[in-house]
Amino acid sequence: MDKRVQEVLTIWHAHFAHVENQYSEFESSDIEYFVGCMLYNHFAFSKALENLRTMDLSYDFLSACGGEYEAIKEIIDSIVLDDELQKLEFLQSYIEESKSKYSGDALYLLNRLEYHVKAMAERYAKGVDAQRVDFKNPLYR
């Protein structure tokens, strides 16, 4: 794993090791998920679905992640790769390594992130642009 990303994980795992810093339903894997979302946002993939270009960043996590957030954001921002395929590979590798640390229900958010990244990777492989997803309720059309 990239040493900068490992540094981020070390900082937040130490922060959340203290029960008083945890929020309701906290899972250690939330940290890896949140960092994955930060990487996803940082890389700003052109083939991301328009309405998923910014992955859901949990209010609970943001509220509880401590004063280290700004320093961590700087570390994430220091990760500069040449092209989108390198960024995609970096994020896929990060997700794979993160998932290897957990099992069962703790994988829920990481699996969710992986699902979106795999779909985006498929768009790169097929050379297709992202389409807008319409989330309208059919009962109210």
Ranges under pLDDT 50 in the chain: none
Identify the pLDDT of residue 134.
64
Nearest to 48 by CA among 133, 134, 130: 130
30, 109 contact by CB (below 8 A): yes
Max alpha carbon distance in the chain (Å)?
50
Instruction: List the beta strands (DSSP E) in 57-136.
Output: none
Identify the pLDDT of residue 140.
64
